[in-house]
Structure 1
């Protein structure tokens, strides 16, 4: 594999890079997945394990992945090939890049389906469909929506078309400008909703559920899910941060940027959890009601609160944009690979890969209706199987080998030069990236494949 370089550095400032990376990390993982998996796994104890996974595994591997991207200056497979060539490492390390590219496409296939729910709800919110909606009506509305395969397929198709059309144009500068509006806007809306949550009468119950650990509700599978979500929410393991790192100038601090990404991502997830569980408990709903939690609870708030039509429309609009910014980042590594290594035009690569993700996504579309009784991996639906394969196996394995490469293949000097790690932190980071992160990932991964 010949050494290739990306055409140009993208980011005009470190702030722009941080905001773009936050835009990739902050999406449905924070607003949709985190609340429902927290509800399914007992609340506070799960949140504590999740935060430990973020600090001990997510942050160190995020730093490592961005560093590999900047060092390799290309798409994930090519970046690893470039680094292998300069370090003399085994060529098998290139497969770390291929795992990232494939993982991103697989996640996009089901991510686009859930994003389609968000688009549908955005349109419905504009029409005033949620005004005066109560809990029973919200649940019934969602159940009827996902049980209609044509409706879910239509919105899945819309999301994939939007993703491809944006990526075809290569409007990274447009995404930069949009992210700078979307992320502060999303946080403002969440804070407004947080204010509403304090008036529901169930805010203290929500706070206790999220932050008071109940370890009796914690299982080994819960730990696995927490680890998998740490990777999912930070966009780790599927090449996004490696590609974004390849556009990062050498004088920008990877450590500082990574810390801001982690802080913003985690704070938004926790705020979303407080809001949603306040609404859940305030309306007598079940915290562990599964993937539909976001779409069964927020319409209730928007239907009852003053100005709910405006804020509901704005919120679901932010959900759509956050989802699109993430879906674009998922397909970008594979597009870059086809462009740089196979000579595809950006347009051809985008349509080919978008078509693949759309086709594979049909399995997730039908998991909620036509194939609802069909199981694939053990007792899991197609949607749950792809989610499990990526979040619990491919992403952790990718992260583990990323840590091993940065910890063991790179010398201390190479690692510090690329990460910009301050000397006082270098020793601690070395221990974490060489031992703590890979061992913890391996233990949880082993539990997942043997349990």
Structure 2
């Protein structure tokens, strides 16, 4: 199959920041803190780091290899590497997964924008009951969540239609440094609160008694999801890499950034939570119900600091959501542009319209359509279940089997070593062992555990 001429990132910094932006998202700032809180704090983080090393980085390198070798969208890259065999279906499944996630992910991203607005207008300074009712009322509203979903997808479209260098790379170079600056500002403020040391201790002092199989599998799952593996994002972005890009170094750098953002998010939330006596295992409601009260109680007595911290935090959350949404959008945009032979602008428009429709249905399923259920789940929950608990593990598992057992090792080695120009042959053998044996077994464990089969 003929490879297409590809756009490319213009610099090494662009490669790192754009791909890190894909990985850094709500999984780091929303999911990681509540997973840490529910699974014992520091002991969860230690296992999480090992899982990134053993699972996350090898899986990411595998997608890098497929994307760069194919120099095409995810579906076509798998077709090129598999020689049009049945293995190419993995690529199509990855594209579908990315599109479906972009729809309901945009809904949650829209919630972040609403909370920026609510913070600016001072609506998040009420009592705890009001904060809880605010989220419930907003999320069930038939218009407001759909409006914010439209707004964040419109912003994503504007970035994507401008292409790889002038859109994705420029936006990433702007937003990722701002994201880190905001993180550091709020971390400093949070760690200076009374009793903040208890939250810091919770994050860094492991309690071995809390270590069990559930903690291990939870860390395994978090490492897999937080790096945006198996959604087509990593593979698509890698198709814009030059042949000189060091794939192993890129995967390590991106994983470090991803972990640092998650850890900094923990340093925001847990010191503040312990400072006001809030239980650290508040669960998924942590960001939109528990945290506004934490900020108000922790910072409310210091002039307008509670107001400022709340605005900064939800701005940070919105930017993290947008960088991930860009990569999800690009998966489908690149697919339509190349497979239909259309313009990038038109492809991006089709994806945006499709995502708005999916997002609208998902949003309404939490409000006016909440009584309509399939398999005893709302449409929103069904999308989350099908993509997160079925498609992602399956695509990740099959990708590892594909690279480890099907693709000729010479092709994999050539990409891994940049045609022998990198002296990392010893690392290659370790990588192959992990991707052939360790990664598939770990992913299979995650898959079986979530259905109570392990």
Do they superpose with TM above 0.5? yes
Aligned to 1:325: 323
Q: Which moved more, 1:300-309 or 1:203-212?
A: 300-309
Q: 1:219, 1:388 → 2: CA distance?
A: 22
Cα deviation digits, residues 196-220 of structure 1 (max 9, x gap): 2223334333234334246657564
Q: 1:110, 1:405 → 2: CA distance?
A: 29
Q: 1:273, 1:149 → 2: CA distance?
A: 33
- 1:266 and 2:259 correspond: yes
Aligned to 2:78: 80
The two structures have a TM-score, normalised by structure 1, of: 0.88
Q: Conserved in 1, the CA contact under 8 Å of 2:6 and 2:71?
A: no
Q: CA deviation at 1:310?
A: 4.3
- 1:394 and 2:381 correspond: no
Aligned to 1:255: 248
Q: Please, which of 441, 445, 448 is the counterpart of residue 446 of structure 1?
A: 448
Q: Conserved in 2, the CA contact under 8 Å of 1:30 and 1:268?
A: yes
Q: Please, which of 72, 82, 92 is the counterpart of residue 98 of structure 1?
A: 92
- 1:409 and 2:402 correspond: no
Q: Conserved in 2, the CA contact under 8 Å of 1:25 and 1:234?
A: yes
Aligned to 1:347: 345
Q: Where in structure 1 are there 5+ consecutive unaligned residues?
A: none
Cα deviation digits, residues 159-205 of structure 1 (max 9, x gap): 22222333234364243233223222222222222222223334333
Q: Conserved in 1, the CA contact under 8 Å of 2:113 and 2:148?
A: yes
Q: CA deviation at 1:427?
A: 2.1
Give the match's secondary structure for 1:402: helix
Q: 1:40, 1:383 → 2: CA distance?
A: 23
Q: CA deviation at 1:321?
A: 2.5
Q: Which moved more, 1:267-276 or 1:384-393?
A: 384-393
Give the match's secondary structure for 1:295: coil
Q: CA deviation at 1:358?
A: 2.4
- 1:3 and 2:2 correspond: yes
Cα deviation digits, residues 234-263 of structure 1 (max 9, x gap): 111011111111111111101111101000
Identify if the C-alpha distance between structure 1 residues 347 and 3 changes in structure 2 by more than 3 Å, giving closer, same or farther: same
Q: 2:43, 2:182 → 1: CA distance?
A: 27
Q: Conserved in 2, the CA contact under 8 Å of 1:186 and 1:315?
A: no
Q: CA deviation at 1:136?
A: 4.9
The Cα RMSD (Å) is: 2.7
Aligned to 1:175: 168
1:78-227 equivalences under 5 Å are 78-85=76-83, 91-130=85-124, 133=126, 135-170=128-163, 172-211=165-204, 212-213=206-207, 216=210, 218=212, 220=214, 223-227=216-220
Q: Please, which of 65, 68, 80 is the counterpart of residue 67 of structure 1?
A: 65
The two structures have a TM-score, normalised by structure 2, of: 0.88
Cα deviation digits, residues 327-385 of structure 1 (max 9, x gap): 1210212121111112233333323322332222234324544455665456x544333
Q: Which runs of 4+ in 1 moved over 6 A?
A: none
Aligned to 2:416: 419
Aligned to 1:235: 228
Q: CA deviation at 1:158?
A: 1.8
Cα deviation digits, residues 1-35 of structure 1 (max 9, x gap): x4341x33411122210111111111211112222
Q: CA deviation at 1:78?
A: 0.5
Q: CA deviation at 1:111?
A: 0.9
Aligned to 1:295: 288
Q: Conserved in 2, the CA contact under 8 Å of 1:105 and 1:357?
A: yes
Give the match's secondary structure for 2:381: helix
Cα deviation digits, residues 259-317 of structure 1 (max 9, x gap): 01000101110110221122223333343333331233443426525545445434433
Aligned to 2:356: 358
Q: Conserved in 2, the CA contact under 8 Å of 1:3 and 1:78?
A: no
Q: 2:166, 2:158 → 1: CA distance?
A: 15
